[in-house]
Amino acid sequence: MKGLSKTLILVVVIVIALIALFIGPYNNMVNKEETCSQAWANVENAYQRRMDLIPNLVKAVQGAADFEKKTLEAVINARAKATSVQVDPSNLTEESIAKFQAAQDELSSALSRLLVTIERYPDLKANQNFLELQAQLEGTENRISTERNKYNETVQAYNSYIRKFPNNIVAGVCNFEKKGYFKAAEGADKAPEVEFNFD
């Protein structure tokens, strides 16, 4: 009888130890996953701020006589496309982030073309309303970059945590999966070619 109770106590102690070893990593994974979701929400807020500025920017530009309609349409269409691509914070995979990033990069490209085109319109460049919108847009682009970097840092901490032993066992059992990163735009690793024309 004494041997049976010692065995039972030993089994109970082992079960309690295993549960304790499981609970700590599980709770840390939950915390880190929530931090990733919060960082993603901050990224979305920064992008939303840009989306909210674009209609005002388009209105300011439309007021300029004979402004290129194609350029404005490209911005409006890219904004619509970027707005339609949503990512569920519980599904921050490489693929979903890449799809979101591609739509946002298309919008960034359209905005860049718009701002380059504006150089040909001195009246528009002197318009105080437009200048304020342009400054807000530039500030928003900086916020987007900052929030994307913070997001990548939280994802790195989460991903490395769930891949370490014995955390990887808990992660596998409880379906904690790797999160996707924002990556540099294709070709960003190559320096642009600069040609000087001294004619």
130/112 Cα distance (integer angstroms): 15
| Model pLDDT for residues 21-50, shown as the tens digit of each residue | 889 999 999 999 999 999 999 999 999 999
| Model pLDDT for residues 106-153, shown as the tens digit of each residue | 999 999 888 888 877 777 777 787 888 888 989 999 999 999 999 999
Asked, as a colleague might, if the bond just before 166 is cis with ω within 30 of 0, I would say yes
158, 28 Cβ separation under 8 angstroms: no
From the list 107, 56, 55, the residue with the least C-alpha distance to 82 is: 107
Q: How confident is the model at residue 186 (pLDDT cuts 50, 70, 90)?
A: low
Tally the residues of the chain: 199
Specify if 163 maps to a domain.
yes
Structure tokens at 17: 């130890």
Specify if 78 maps to a domain.
yes
Mean pLDDT for the chain overall: 85
- What integer pLDDT is reported at residue 1 of this predicted model? 63
92, 179 Cβ separation under 8 angstroms: yes
158/33 Cα distance (integer angstroms): 7
Specify if 32 maps to a domain.
no
- Which tops the pLDDT comparison, 21 or 85? 85
The per-residue b/e assignment along 58-74, b for 16 or more CB within 10 angstroms, e otherwise, is: bebbeebeebbeebbeb
Measured N-to-C along each axis, helices 128-163 and 94-118 cross at an angle, to the nearest 10 degrees, of 160
Residue reference for tokens 């404005």: 72
Q: Determine phi and psi for 163, rounding to 5 degrees.
A: -90, -15
Specify if 124 maps to a domain.
yes
Specify if 186 maps to a domain.
no
SS3 assignment, position 91? helix
2/42 Cα distance (integer angstroms): 60
Residue 139's CB: how many other CB atoms inside 10 A?
12
Number of domains in the chain: 1
Structure tokens at 9: 């106590």
- CATH number of residue 144's parent domain: 1.20.120
- What integer pLDDT is reported at residue 189 of this predicted model? 44
101, 82 Cβ separation under 8 angstroms: no
From the list 133, 128, 125, 126, the residue with the least C-alpha distance to 75 is: 133
Specify if 69 maps to a domain.
yes
Specify if 101 maps to a domain.
yes
Residue span of the structural domain in which 146 resides: 2-26+44-173
11, 3 Cβ separation under 8 angstroms: no
Specify if 190 maps to a domain.
no
